[in-house]
Each structure stands twice: as C-alpha cells, then as structure tokens.
Structure 1
C-alpha cells in the first residue's frame, strides 16, 4: 500500500499524538501539511512522540523538474525595488521557460553598463515595474541571484511611463510615452 497523498493546508493529526517533521507545521492544536506530497510517519523512540513529515511529490509526467537559474542563463525579470546601489528583481523567465515561482535577483550598480560604471544612477536606469532582460553572472547570496545588463542586448525591454502608458525605446538610454510624448531615461536593451 502506497503512502497517502496530502495537499498544503490539509490537517494531518493532533499535535498531542505526534511531532511535526519536515513539510509540516502545527496550527490550532493540529499538524498541517505545508507542501503537496506523501505522508510519512517515523515511529516513536523511547518516550518521544512519532514524527510526521510530508515528502514533496515528484513532478507529474511531462512537467519535468523545476528550473533554476544558472550562471550565464538569460532571464527576464520584473523590477520590484530600487536603492542607490542596486535594483531588486523577480526572475520570471529563464531562457525560454516560464518559472513556476519567481526567484529573487539583484542588478548591482556596477553591473548595469559595461562602460562608465562609476557614473551609473540606478533610478535613471530602471523603475519599479520595468521588465528587464539580463544574464545571471553569479548565484549570489542565499536569497538572490546577481544579474548583469552590461551588454547592448540586455536591459529594459518593457517600460510603463509615469502616466501609466506602455512606452517604446527611442535610443539606447531613453523610452518615449506615445500618448503624452514624455521621455524617460532607462538602460534600454537593443530592440532588434
């Protein structure tokens, strides 16, 4: 008999009768599954309670495994936050595959352009909501990948103006709002 499948949020057992293991958490006196997978129970050792855990389910046939950014992967990412030193992004596409979940990335000031790196101003290169084409240059720290746009083909590919209109590139460093005619600066990716 195979182990039963459980879904995230599904109650498993009362906390008093067992201990939470990986893939579970306790809530209101019950063990709850945190992930989709198969239910596992380890027998009690001496006077301790049995440990209940949930092992993640393998991907369904045809879905393959989750994709992860690798060094030299071309990615599409949305800018989520700006500071004077970097732009934080969510990686949405890796190569030609859409991510099941977004990965965190950082474009540091020195990785925006290949030349005049000391003159880069993050706020003139990106705005929150821009879609950026970049290349992963490092697996970074534990929470974010480092991304570079220091190439003519890399940079902002989609931008929305302050008035809320979709803009189009007019030079390697400017986008134009077709409705208002306003011009805004960006680190523009080569369009063709």
Structure 2
C-alpha cells in the first residue's frame, strides 16, 4: 500500500496501456500524482483515490520538526501521521516532556542534549495532552532524531544512540537518535 504525494512519479503497471484518470497527470513521460492518495485501477483507467489524513491518536507514529525548547520539554510541529503527510497549514503541535525522552535514566535527561531547533523527530503519540497539543514519546530505540543539521549547517549522521557527527566538520553533537532502519 503506497501513498503518493503531489508531483511524485507513479510507476505504471506492465501490460495494456492505461488512461490517466483523476488525480494523475503526465509530465516528462512519467505519470505523476496531483493529490495525496493511493492508486487504483478501474478497467483501463488509473486513478488516485484521495487519502484523508487523520489527526494523531494514541499509538500514532508521527514525524515532526522541533520548534521550541525549554528545560522541561521540546515542542514540535507534527507534519506526518502514520505515514500520511498532513496538508500544508494543518500541522498539529506535539510536546516531548523530559520524562518521555527515553525509557531509562529519566532523571538524567537534559532536553538541550537531546534535541535542537529544526531537528526532525520520529515519535509515538502517548496521549492527547491538553487542548493545544499531543504528548509524544521517543522512549524506544527506533524513535528520536532522524534528521539534524549541525551548527556548521551540514547534515548529521548518527554515530550512537546519543550522538551525531557533522558530515562537514566531523564534530560530534549530542542528540537522542533514532536507531537507523538499515542497522
């Protein structure tokens, strides 16, 4: 089950030629999605049925960008819920409290050593929180920072569960890293 984003190329199935239906257009000899959705073939026509994003719920896997830090929590703008991107302007706010950063040694966690503004974080919604935000945890090995930019402005690569290395300068910075999926 693949979800396609607007502008993303859509592989066409082998066999008889299909006509492009609603939600799909052709550019540079490739079929591309014009809406967020999944492909569906009806007869000789290939269409995209819109996938309606849903708000986060407990146990939803989310991706978000850190927008604000305080000594007790990190605030993030949630932009992907359960693998489905939210439309622009419909982001939700999430909060990672200091006790939800990792499963052990919770009393030793310092938010500034785990996240920085602009980091992209993979998290799990644990509750609905207050009226303005969702509580998010990164207390599993596969959760945490998945993309970060160093102080030098270069992308960073994880070297351990709590450190990332700048690809430009080689400097190490502290983060609560998500375990890379290829390891």
> TM-score over 0.5 for the alignment?
yes
For the Cα contact (< 8 Å) 2:127–2:134, is it kept in 1? yes
Please report the TM-score for the alignment, with normalisation by the length of structure 1: 0.67
Q: Which has the larger radius of gyration?
A: 1
CA apart distance, 1:63: 3.0
Which residue of structure 2 aligns with residue 63 of structure 1? 50
The 3-state SS of whatever aligns with 2:113 is: helix
Q: CA RMSD in A?
A: 1.2
1:105 equivalenced with 2:83 (yes/no): no
CA apart distance, 1:64: 4.8
Which residue of structure 1 aligns with residue 76 of structure 2? 89
CA apart distance, 1:76: 0.4
TM-superposition CA deviations, 1:83-102 (whole Å, max 9, x none): 00000000010111001111
Gap regions ≥5 residues in structure 1:
1-60
Mean CA deviation greater in 111-120 or 62-71: 62-71
Which residue of structure 2 aligns with residue 154 of structure 1? 143
User: Matched residues in 2 for 1:158 and 1:95: separation?
Assistant: 18
User: Matched residues in 1 for 2:169 and 2:145: separation?
Assistant: 20
User: Matched residues in 1 for 2:51 and 2:77: separation?
Assistant: 22
Which residue of structure 1 aligns with residue 36 of structure 2? none
User: Matched residues in 1 for 2:124 and 2:74: separation?
Assistant: 14
User: Matched residues in 2 for 1:99 and 1:132: separation?
Assistant: 16
User: Matched residues in 2 for 1:87 and 1:96: separation?
Assistant: 22
Equivalent of 2:118 in 96, 116, 129 = 129
User: Matched residues in 2 for 1:135 and 1:76: separation?
Assistant: 9
- Structure 1 stretches of 4+ with a deviation exceeding 6 A read none
Aligned length: 132
Gap regions ≥5 residues in structure 2:
1-47
1:78 equivalenced with 2:68 (yes/no): no
